Amino acid sequence: MRADRRRRVSVVSAVLVLLAAFVVMLGSGMGSGTGVAGRSPLVDNPAPPLAGRTLDGSKFRLERLEGSVVLVNVWASWCGPCRDEMPLLAAAQQKWTGSGLEVVGINTRDGPVAARALLRETGATGVRSVLDPDGRLAVAWGASGVPETFLVDRSGIVRARHVGPVTEQWLRQHVPRWLGR
Amino acid sequence: MTGYLGTFALAVGFLAALASIGLWAREATRGTSIAAARHGACLMLMGAAGAVAAVEWALLTHDFSMRFVAENGSLSTPLYYTVTSLWAASDGSLLLWLLVLTVYVVVVALRRPRAAERLHPWAMAVLSVVAAFFFGLVLFTGRAFDSVAAPAGGGPGPNPLLQDHPAMGIHPPLLYAGFLGLAVPFAFAVAALITGNVTRRWLDAVRTYTLVAWVALTAGIVLGAWWSYAVLGWGGYWAWDPVENASLIPWLVATALLHSAMVQRRRAALPAWNLSLAVTAFLLACLGTFLTRSSVVVSVHAFADSPVGPLLLGFVAALTVGVAVLVLLRTDRLGPPRTIGPLLSRGSVLLVNNILLTCLALTVLLGTLFPLLAELLADRQVSVGPPYYNRMAVPIALVLLALMVVGPMMRWQGDEPGRLLRQLAVPVVAGSLLVTVLAFAGVHSASALAAFGLATTVATMVAADFAAGVRRVRVSQATGWLRATRVCAVRRRARNAGLVAHLGVAVAVVGIAASSVYTVSAEQKLAVGERLSVSGVTAELAAVDRSRTEQVMSTAARIEVIDGATRTTTEPELRFFPAHGMTVAGPAVLSDLTGDVYLTLLSVDESSRTATVRLAVNPLVGWIWAGGALMALGGAFALWPRRRTRPGAVAVRAGEPEQTLEVVPR
Amino acid sequence: MVVAVLVGVASAWLVAGDVNRPMSARVGDVASGLRCPTCSAVSVSASNSPMAQSMRAQIRRQLSAGRSPEQIRAWFADRYGGQVLLDPEPEGLGLVLWVLPVAALAGGVVAFVMTRRRPGPPEGGTDGVARPAISARRVAVAGLVVLAVGAVVPVALWDAGSGEAAASATAPAPSGQPEMSASDWVSVATSLERQEAYGAAAEAYRKALQRRPGSPAVRTRLAFVLVREGNPQQALPLVRRLAHREGPHRVEALLVLGLAQRAASMPESAGTLRQFLALAPDHPAGGQIRRLLRDDG
């Protein structure tokens, strides 16, 4: 009978240990809903190809900008936050263009009319945008949504990724750092 | 004012629950009935109903000074969705949860099972503990009744997805009825552990309430599947989303329990196993609620983060610890083990069924929680989705179907292979005939062929079994077909119920296999007048219409669907809710027995007057809903009260072991 | 009856030979295995969000170009990380997902056999004698053992395999993290090299070499960085043997060896570099080397 009891104690304590581990696991996961948009595997790797027609009809290739720091921004006119961030990007272009910053948009799943209208309304007509009607480029860049911004350094390596509308703070934190090198 | 009344009602319910714990425990230890305990149960129900009524009143009168209404009500929401707004957000849905729970509490309190005097008060005490926890949870963490500065012009209304389909009014209450129904078997299982009493009466109580919960869960899950099919706009009904899984896992365990309860009923075997299933089912339901109400997992259906999560986790853990300690102290009182019968017997098949169902439940649970595990142990972000679940679940489901063929025709006391083979002949030939025909007709997927074949075999077996029963009655009573059918339908009620549920599974499996393997779809940008064709169905874009109301901006594509000679005009929509910044798809579905034509409007380009449209032909989808309805119907049949048997009549079944297993505590 | 079944199954096999699924179904197959990045817990095939539509278009394009579903999955994982795959690879920790259910099933079968083998009371007998074996407990013990084995074995395998797994991973871990594989160090080094921080790059290559000893590619890179850092003497022994042996890395090794010899003002340099040019006349560095030789000569 005693052996039986000991066995039962060990079984139940094993269950309790498992339970404790389980609770720790669930507890640790609380509030940290895991999304896909973690760190991008692109960061610190060469930038994917980016080439095509721009909104104003000219041809564009990212390789031609090697030597400049490039902000690649995935946007569309149907996305509300894009409208909000566009003036920031235009301002960034103006501010750092002398130090070698280029801002390039990927205008994804959008119509050129609506896209041009948005640029006009936000005063960002200076921002070049590559047309991406079927979303191929945005996907090739691993964009998890719109808007999303990548920073490519002077040697063509992706250095940073920002999900959602860019903030002035993010720009200040990353752009001068890579311009300075 | 309404807010104060609501809080007051909750406080009353909470105190009543606390008092009930003591009263029922007293009744259990004293052995004398205490009327106040029953009053306590009614008071709990009144408390929960009062709180629900307070929120509903505030919602209906647009009292935006109550926080819940300010956050979830709006002036423009239609009446129906204003009522259902109660469970559109976490706080209110917990009130519904409480209401459903207290209804069960009152029903169990007043329906005292005969000859289970020692179990009943303990079970009620356990239920009161559960109720007290949830009352406390709502009372101390809920902020529904807070008063706030009323927003001008009202609130935003419930989440657009939750005011878009009538299922909103039925699906969540059904699911809650399912989850909380499992609290009763749990309570009786704990009572059995306390008293060491796993009698026939215990089993009756467990089986009845598990069955109630199972019917509600089945209906709730199928309705939920239909809802996401009709609203989400991609033509799917089950995405293996964590929250969907959270409702499936308790369902699987409850299904296992309903089957293994039969083994205990007929052979007095597996009492400890049944007890653990009864406990596990409710704990898993609570775990599922925890997953829904804490942002532990990512899901479309999850509520926003709230302090409810940690408390629920603590509650589940505490219940598990409590049960573990009870098991430690009491398993030796559950009686001597009994065999389930020879290898070729119904008991064996039911045991295999239980092993498979629990393995499936474990697999789904593992897949649901694996992303957490990977993040904790390996700091890696991992997703587990449909490919994994399908690969694991399909083989198990196919074996379960095969068991459905042989199980019901086997005898409890053992069977000879010869008799089984003779009985199997017709169904198996029917199944393989269908497989042959389908294979030559161009069905190539092995899993789909297996599913169709097995489902046909099950259906034929059900029909043959009923026909055999009718023939036997006709011969023995020398009556006509009609009367014999009636006698057979009434007399074999329990068996028929199970067979109807099995038939439902077979029908649903056909629908699932056909729609998941043979759905064809295409998406294309269409200008007005252009056409898109998919497997013989053509869609022609006629026009793009826009309209707006106070709440919604809708864009509808008027599309002519040409299917053979018939021409139908459909209007798939995109509905944008400015108050939420959210777009909801409004697919157009044309259903018939052979399948659905499913049209979704993906996007509209205003300047060029084109619309991107997705056209899908989903074969046999309707069979899934029909199968689900049959399953729930089967469960409801089994619940139908049987005619009272005269005392003493039970014991005269020859060749069976004694039914009760009462063991006197040491 | 048996004949009927056999005929049915055989004919099914015969006919089921050639599976020709329509394009939309093949796109759906791949899409349902990828997680939609904008949505919560929904597959690409189950979402109408623009990003999911773009991803479906991309899958369709790649399938039409003849790429296999496996290649497409890998392509997406390269861009979105492993969490875009809804079907974790059965390796490392992912093994748990596959082993545990099978182990549970095996445990169930064991429990079933155990209940079968236990001598039961005679049929219809009503003896109330308690028997020593109580199924519940045995089942619980078996279940726990199975659970423990199911949990421990894959974790152990994962520990053993993590080095390899990480070596084949493309994403570098952020520097400063304790567990960095060879390929992580290589990519750190490459980026340092691009920033012309040769000392630090050499250090990173050395770390990579420690984790993957003898890797010819890493040795060559390290030697090259050392030459650029102005440290040719250390570079020489790294590439000498590689340069004189047939193999895929010989060309690069010859180039680096020649440059190192030249930096160390050794006369063999010209010969080595000519050997390099002879072996790989179209090498991108060829032009520069010819110029060097011309200038020197």
**CB distance C103 to B635 below 8 Å:** no
Q: Does C177 touch chain A (CB under 8 A)?
A: no
In angstroms, the CA B491 to CA C21 distance is 50
For an interface test with A, give the residue of C51, C83, C93, C134 to mutate (most A CBs within 10 A).
C51
Selection from B20-29, B216-225, B490-499, C234-243 with the highest mean pLDDT: B216-225
Q: Does B209 touch chain C (CB under 8 A)?
A: no
Q: For all residues of chain A together, what is the average pLDDT?
A: 86
Contact residues for C51 (Cβ-Cβ < 8 A; gap 6+): A135, A138, A139, A143, A144, A145, A146, C36, C37, C38
For A139, the closest of C58, C172, C188 (CB atoms) is C58
Amino acid at C94: G
Residues of B in contact with C111 (CB under 8 A): 355
pLDDT tens digits, residue range B553-564?
899 999 999 998
Intra-chain end-to-end CA distance of chain C, in Å: 92
Residues of C in contact with A22 (CB under 8 A): none
pLDDT at residue B82 in the model: 94
Among B98-102, B452-456, B600-604, C182-186, the least confident range: C182-186
The rounded percent of chain B whose pLDDT value lies above 90 is 58
Q: Determine whether the interchain pair A34/B375 forms a contact, defined as Cβ–Cβ distance below 8 Å.
A: yes
pLDDT at residue B376 in the model: 83
Q: Determine whether the interchain pair A36/C58 forms a contact, defined as Cβ–Cβ distance below 8 Å.
A: no
- Which of 402-431 (B) contact C at CB < 8 A? 413, 421, 424-425, 428-429
pLDDT tens digits, residue range B519-566?
888 888 899 999 999 988 999 999 998 888 877 889 999 999 999 889
Q: Determine whether the interchain pair C54/A37 forms a contact, defined as Cβ–Cβ distance below 8 Å.
A: no
Q: Is the pLDDT of residue B14 over 50?
A: yes
Q: Determine whether the interchain pair C80/A181 forms a contact, defined as Cβ–Cβ distance below 8 Å.
A: no
Average pLDDT over residues C4-13: 55
Q: Does B439 touch chain C (CB under 8 A)?
A: yes
Amino acid at B242: P
Q: Longest Cα pair distance anywhere in chain B, in angstroms? A: 85
Give the closest-approach CA distance of B144 to chain A in angstroms.
21
pLDDT at residue B114 in the model: 67
For an interface test with B, give the residue of C35, C53, C73, C86 to mutate (most B CBs within 10 A).
C86
pLDDT tens digits, residue range B167-204?
999 999 999 999 999 999 999 999 998 888 788 888 98
**CB distance B521 to B505 below 8 Å:** no
Q: Does A18 touch chain B (CB under 8 A)?
A: no
The rounded percent of chain C whose pLDDT value lies above 70 is 68
Q: Is the pLDDT of residue B56 over 90?
A: yes
Q: For all residues of chain B together, what is the average pLDDT?
A: 88
Q: Is the pLDDT of residue B372 over 80?
A: yes
Contact residues for C240 (Cβ-Cβ < 8 A; gap 6+): C257
In angstroms, the CA B506 to CA B405 distance is 10
- Which of 62-91 (A) contact C at CB < 8 A? 76, 78
For C141, the closest of A11, A38, A78 (CB atoms) is A11
For C24, the closest of B335, B521, B655 (CB atoms) is B521
Does C137 or B605 have the greater pLDDT score? Answer: B605
Q: Is the pLDDT of residue C156 over 60?
A: no
pLDDT tens digits, residue range B288-325?
998 888 767 767 666 766 678 888 888 998 998 888 88
Contact residues for B638 (Cβ-Cβ < 8 A; gap 6+): B211, B493, B494, B497, B498, B501
Average pLDDT over residues B554-582: 89
Q: Nearest chain C residue to A109 by CA: give it.
A: C50
Q: Is the pLDDT of residue C127 over 50?
A: no
- Which of 361-420 (B) contact A at CB < 8 A? 369, 371-373, 375-376, 381, 383
- Quote the pTM value: 0.80
For B317, the closest of A23, A29, A80 (CB atoms) is A23
Q: Does C85 touch chain B (CB under 8 A)?
A: yes
Give the closest-approach CA distance of B104 to chain C in angstroms.
30
In angstroms, the CA B324 to CA B318 distance is 10
**CB distance C204 to C195 below 8 Å:** no
Q: Determine whether the interchain pair C108/B359 forms a contact, defined as Cβ–Cβ distance below 8 Å.
A: yes
Q: Does A41 touch chain B (CB under 8 A)?
A: no
For B93, B173, C74, the CA distances from B97, given in Å and listed in that order, are 6, 8, 45
Residue with tokens 């010899």: C261
Q: Is the pLDDT of residue B230 over 80?
A: yes
Which residue, among A142, A118, B580, has the nearest Cα to C51 in the 3D structure? A142
pLDDT at residue C132 in the model: 30
The rounded percent of chain B whose pLDDT value lies above 70 is 93
The pLDDT confidence band at residue A88, using thresholds 50, 70 and 90, is very high
What secondary structure, in 3-state letters, does chain C show?
A: CHHHHHHHHHHHHHHCCCCCCCHHHHHHHHHCCEECCCCCCCEHHHCCCHHHHHHHHHHHHHHHCCCCHHHHHHHHHHHHCHHHECCCCCCHHHHHHHHHHHHHHHHHHHHHHHHHHCCCCCCCCCCCCCCCCCHHHHHHHHHHHHHHHHHHHHHHHHHHHHHHHHHHCCCCCCCCCCCCCHHHHHHHHHHHHHCCCHHHHHHHHHHHHHHCCCCHHHHHHHHHHHHHHCCHHHHHHHHHHHHCCCCCCHHHHHHHHHHHHHHCCCCHHHHHHHHHHHHCCCCCCHHHHHHHHHHHC
Residues of B in contact with C48 (CB under 8 A): 233-234, 585, 600, 602, 614
Q: Does B446 touch chain C (CB under 8 A)?
A: yes
- Please state the length of chain B: 666
In angstroms, the CA B34 to CA C72 distance is 69
The interface pTM score, or ipTM, of the predicted complex is 0.85
Among A158-172, B30-44, B132-146, C194-208, the least confident range: C194-208
Residue with tokens 């619980």: C140
Q: Does C152 touch chain A (CB under 8 A)?
A: no
For B403, B406, B459, B503, B556, the CA distances from B345, given in Å and listed in that order, are 12, 10, 21, 21, 59
pLDDT at residue B657 in the model: 35
Q: Is the pLDDT of residue C41 over 70?
A: yes
In DSSP terms, which residues pair with C43 in a beta bridge?
C35
Q: Is the pLDDT of residue A164 over 60?
A: yes
For B200, B337, B416, C129, the CA distances from C133, given in Å and listed in that order, are 22, 7, 29, 12
In angstroms, the CA B286 to CA B294 distance is 12
pLDDT at residue B654 in the model: 33
Q: Does A28 touch chain B (CB under 8 A)?
A: yes
pLDDT tens digits, residue range A34-84?
444 567 888 898 999 999 999 988 999 998 888 899 999 999 988 888 988
Q: Nearest chain B residue to C26 by CA: give it.
A: B520
For B133, B140, B598, C180, the CA distances from B4, given in Å and listed in that order, are 21, 14, 49, 59
Q: Does C251 touch chain B (CB under 8 A)?
A: no
Q: What is the CA radius of gyration of chain A?
A: 24
Which residue, among B271, B278, B216, has the nearest Cα to B247 in the 3D structure? B216
Residues of C in contact with B300 (CB under 8 A): 39-42
Q: Determine whether the interchain pair C137/A11 forms a contact, defined as Cβ–Cβ distance below 8 Å.
A: yes
Residue with tokens 């200040």: A172
In angstroms, the CA B628 to CA A74 distance is 45
CA angle (B157 as vertex; B152, B158 as ends), nearest 5: 155
pLDDT at residue C37 in the model: 86
For A144, the closest of C80, C140, C188 (CB atoms) is C80
Q: Determine whether the interchain pair B313/A33 forms a contact, defined as Cβ–Cβ distance below 8 Å.
A: no
Average pLDDT over residues C102-118: 84
> Which residue stretches of B413-445 are H helix?
417-441
Q: Does A18 touch chain C (CB under 8 A)?
A: yes
Q: Determine whether the interchain pair B607/A15 forms a contact, defined as Cβ–Cβ distance below 8 Å.
A: no
Question: Subunits that touch chain C (at least 3 Cβ pairs < 8 angstroms)?
Answer: A, B
pLDDT at residue C181 in the model: 66
